Amino acid sequence: HAKKKGRNNFQFYTDSLSNDMVRRLQVETGLRRALERDELSVVYQPKVDLETRMVVGAEALLRWRSTDLGDVSPTEFVPVAEETGLVVPIGEWVLRAVCKQIKAWLDEGLPPVRVGVNLSARQFRDQGLAETIKGILRDTGVQADLLDLELTESMLIENANEAIEALWSLKNIGITLSIDDFGTGYSSLSYLKRFPIDALKIDRSFIMDIPASEDDMAITQAIIRMASSLGLKLVAEGIETEDQAEFLRVNNCELGQGYLFSRPIDHNNMAALLADGFMPPEVILAKRSAVA
Ligand code: C2E
Ligand code: MG
Ligand code: MG
Ligand code: MG
C-alpha cells in the first residue's frame, strides 16, 4: 500500500517538475523577444508622506504583457531575466524609459518627482553600469538626483569591498541609493554605516501583520530608530490599512508606499496624481519647521 502511494507521489512530482521546466522555458523564450516586440511597460507606485499624505515620489515597476503567455508577474520573469543575463538590456531599457518619463512629466509642467528603479544583482555587478546611467541622464536631460536606485542587502553583503566601490561610482553621478526589502536579507548592520546609502525601505513582511504582531511592531520601531540615528530616510512598503499607516506615522516613519494609498498605476494616472497631490520634499520640510 505504502509503496503504491510512494509511486504516485513520484509520478506527481515528475509531472509538476516538467510542467515547471516547460513554463520556465516559455518565459525565457518569450523574454528574449519581449523588447523587440514592445511588450514591456513601466507602472508607477506613489511614495507618500505619512504626515501629509502628499505624493513625494514613486517607484517604477516593470510589467510584461507577453503575446504568447499573457501578463507575467515580475516575481516570475525577473529571476529568469537575471539567470539568463537578459536583465542587463531589459534593465537598461527600464532606466531609459523612466528617465524619458520623468522628462515628459517635467515638460508637461508637473513638479519634479524622484523615481526609484529596482536594480538586479547582475546589473549592479556590470562594470559599465555607471557610464550607462550617465549616458541615459545626458540623453534624456534629467537631473541625476531625480533618479533613485533600489538595491537589496544581499547585493551589498556578497562582495562588500567591490560593492562599496560600485556604490560610490553611482553615488558620484548624483543619484540616490536605497536598500529595498530591508530586514529580509542577511543584515550586517555595521555595513550600513560604510555604504553611501540614502534610504531604507522596510520590507512588507514586517508591515503586513501590524497591529496584530507585537514582534513586528517592535522590529519596525527598532528599524525606524536605527535609520533615524544613522541619518537615513525611511520608506515603509506594503501599507494596506489605516492602522498600519497610523502606527508608522506616530512612530516617526516618514514615507510609505502601499495599496492603501495607491496600487502601481500607468504614467497618465501618475501625472494626474502629481498634478493635484504633489509637494516636493523640501516644501514639506519647510512647512514642518514653520509649524514647529
Ligand atoms: P519590490 O521592489 O519590493 O516592489 C514592491 C512590490 O510589492 C511590487 O510588486 C508592488 O506592486 C507590490 N506592492 C506594493 N504595495 C503593496 C501592498 O500594499 N500590498 C501588497 N501585497 N503588495 C504591494 P511587483 O510589481 O509584482 O514587483 C515584484 C518585484 O519584482 C519587485 O519587488 C522587484 O523586486 C521586482 N521588480 C519589479 N520591477 C523590476 C525592475 O524593473 N527591475 C528589477 N530588477 N526588478 C523589478
Ligand atoms: Mg523595489
Ligand atoms: Mg521592495
Ligand atoms: Mg519587496
Mind listing the pLDDT tens digit for each residue in 177-226? 999 999 988 766 777 888 999 999 999 999 999 999 999 999 999 999 99
> What's the pLDDT band for 138 if we cut at 50, 70, 90?
very high
In order of 114, 131, 286, the CA distances from 292 in angstroms are 26, 43, 10
Q: Which ligand is nearest to the CA of 60?
A: 1
Q: Which ligand is nearest to the CA of 75?
A: 1
Beta bridge partners, 61, equal 43
> Residue length, the chain?
292
Asked if 258 contacts 247 with a C-beta cutoff of 8 angstroms, the reply is no
Q: From the CA of 199, how far away is ligand 2's center (Å)?
A: 12
Does the C-beta of 179 come closer than 6 Å to ligand 1?
no
Q: How many helices (H) and strands (E) does the chain have?
A: 13, 9
Q: Which of 4, 83, 72, 6 is nearest to 34 (CA)?
A: 72
Atom index in ligand 1 nearest the CA of residue 257 equals: 15
Asked if 223 contacts 206 with a C-beta cutoff of 8 angstroms, the reply is yes
Task: Centre a 10 Å sphere on the Cβ of residue 228 and count the other Cβ atoms it contains.
Answer: 14
Asked if 186 contacts 154 with a C-beta cutoff of 8 angstroms, the reply is yes
Q: pTM of the predicted model, to two decimals?
A: 0.91
Q: What is the DSSP letter of 195?
A: S
Q: What is the DSSP letter of 42?
A: E
Helix-, strand-, coil-residue percentages of the chain, each rounded to 5: 55, 20, 25
Does the C-beta of 42 come closer than 6 Å to ligand 1?
no
Q: Output the residue whose Cα is nearest ligand 1's atom 43.
A: 118
Task: Centre a 10 Å sphere on the Cβ of residue 86 and count the other Cβ atoms it contains.
Answer: 19
3-state SS class at 26: helix
Does the C-beta of 183 come closer than 6 Å to ligand 1?
no
Atom index in ligand 1 nearest the CA of residue 152 equals: 34
Q: Has residue 285 got a pLDDT over 50?
A: no
Q: How far apart are CA 37 and CA 17, in angstroms?
A: 29
Q: What angle do the packed helices 160-171 and 129-140 form, to 10 degrees?
A: 20
Q: Output the residue whose Cα is nearest ligand 1's atom 20.
A: 238
Q: How far apart are the first and last CA of the chain?
A: 76
> What's the pLDDT band for 87 if we cut at 50, 70, 90?
very high
What's the number of CA atoms in the CB half-sphere (13 Å) around residue 6?
A: 3
Q: Output the residue whose Cα is nearest ligand 1's atom 2.
A: 118
Q: Output the residue whose Cα is nearest ligand 1's atom 22.
A: 238
> What's the pLDDT band for 291 if we cut at 50, 70, 90?
very low
Asked if 99 contacts 136 with a C-beta cutoff of 8 angstroms, the reply is yes
Does the C-beta of 259 come closer than 6 Å to ligand 1?
yes
Does the C-beta of 154 come closer than 6 Å to ligand 1?
no
3-state SS class at 61: strand
What pLDDT does residue 278 have?
Answer: 65
> What's the pLDDT band for 289 if we cut at 50, 70, 90?
low
Q: From the CA of 190, how far away is ligand 2's center (Å)?
A: 22
What pLDDT does residue 277 have?
Answer: 72
Q: Which three cell numbers stand for residue 159?
A: 562582495
Q: From the CA of 201, how far away is ligand 3's center (Å)?
A: 7
Atom index in ligand 1 nearest the CA of residue 150 equals: 2
